[in-house]
């Protein structure tokens, strides 16, 4: 048994390093950029008039539609549309690019709502205190609100990242030889599906454990300002 596990390990780790981790990291990074942008579009109410105001309303409409559509359809279907569907209208994407686009858009939609809720949870009094000191809205967001929101958003966003790491296994369906697909291929050769799938599950669990430890570390760091009860 150990022989099978050890002999398959290099191929699985190679797939992890070559596809699973890069796919998760790149998609999460792009997903967060989208999420922050969409969250701010939905959260902020800039005092603008005329054409700019119409443009902002349009942006918000697009943001709402995007979040709705990506939260209302399965990730697997989204990946299939991007990889197998788009070529029929002339958009042919390499598997890795298609997967990054699918995962990023999906993560961005969920992440935007998580970030928006964290921004909303910071007391309005903090905005008032910043405005009375002369801070502009971008300065207030960047220096006062976001650091406080980061602490709140960390656990749910870590959840989403851990979820994404596991969801990368869906990329196997669009021909990417990531860790799960490699385990399927090895199982087809050695006829040890139970062993192979438990082994790959253990590798996913290993990756997610590292992320949980990292989450714990970041939570401690971002909560350093909470020491007493202020009474």
Take residue 192 and report the two structure tokens written for it.
Answer: 């040890």
- Considering only residues 112 to 131 of the shown chain, the ones binding other proteins according to CB under 8 A are 123, 125-126, 128-131
Residues that bind other proteins (rule: CB under 8 A) add up to a total of 26
33 counts as binding other proteins under rule CB under 8 A: no
Q: Round to whole Å and give the CA distance between 12 and 31.
A: 26
Tell the burial category of 8 from Cβ atoms under 10 Å away from its Cβ (0-12, 13-18, 19+): buried
120-149 as b/e: b if 16+ CB within 10 A: eebeeeebeebeeeebeeeebbeebbbebb
Q: Which is nearer to other proteins, 144 or 208 (CB)?
A: 144
Mask of contacts with other proteins, 47-86, x by CB under 8 A? x---------------------------------------
45 counts as binding other proteins under rule CB under 8 A: no
- Considering only residues 191 to 230 of the shown chain, the ones binding other proteins according to CB under 8 A are 224-230
- Per CB under 8 A, the list member of 45, 134, 194, 220 interacting with other proteins is 134
Binding site for other proteins (CB under 8 A): 47, 123, 125-126, 128-135, 139, 143-144, 147-148, 151, 224-231
């Amino acid at each position: 048994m150990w022989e099978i596990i050890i002999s398959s390990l290099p191929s699985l780790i190679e797939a992890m390093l070559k596809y699973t981790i890069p796919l998760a990291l790149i998609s999460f990074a792009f997903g967060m950029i989208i999420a922050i942008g969409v969250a701010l579009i939905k959260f902020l109410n800039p005092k603008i008039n005329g054409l700019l105001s119409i443009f902002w309303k349009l942006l918000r409409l697009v943001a709402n539609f995007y979040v709705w559509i990506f939260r209302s359809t399965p990730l697997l279907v989204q990946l299939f549309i991007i990889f197998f569907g788009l070529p029929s209208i002339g958009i042919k994407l390499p598997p890795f690019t298609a997967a990054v686009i699918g995962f990023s858009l999906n993560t961005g939609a969920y992440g935007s709502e998580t970030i928006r809720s964290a921004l909303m949870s910071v007391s309005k009094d903090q905005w008032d205190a910043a405005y009375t000191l002369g801070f502009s809205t971008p300065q207030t967001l960047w220096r006062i609100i976001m650091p406080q929101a980061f602490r709140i958003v960390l656990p749910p966003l870590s959840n989403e990242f851990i979820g994404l790491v596991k969801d990368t296994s869906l990329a196997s369906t669009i021909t990417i030889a990531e860790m799960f697909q490699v385990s399927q291929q090895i199982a087809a050769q050695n006829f040890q599906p139970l062993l192979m799938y438990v082994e790959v599950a253990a590798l996913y669990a290993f990756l997610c454990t590292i992320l949980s430890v990292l989450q714990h570390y970041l939570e401690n760091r971002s909560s350093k300002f909470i020491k007493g009860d202020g009474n």
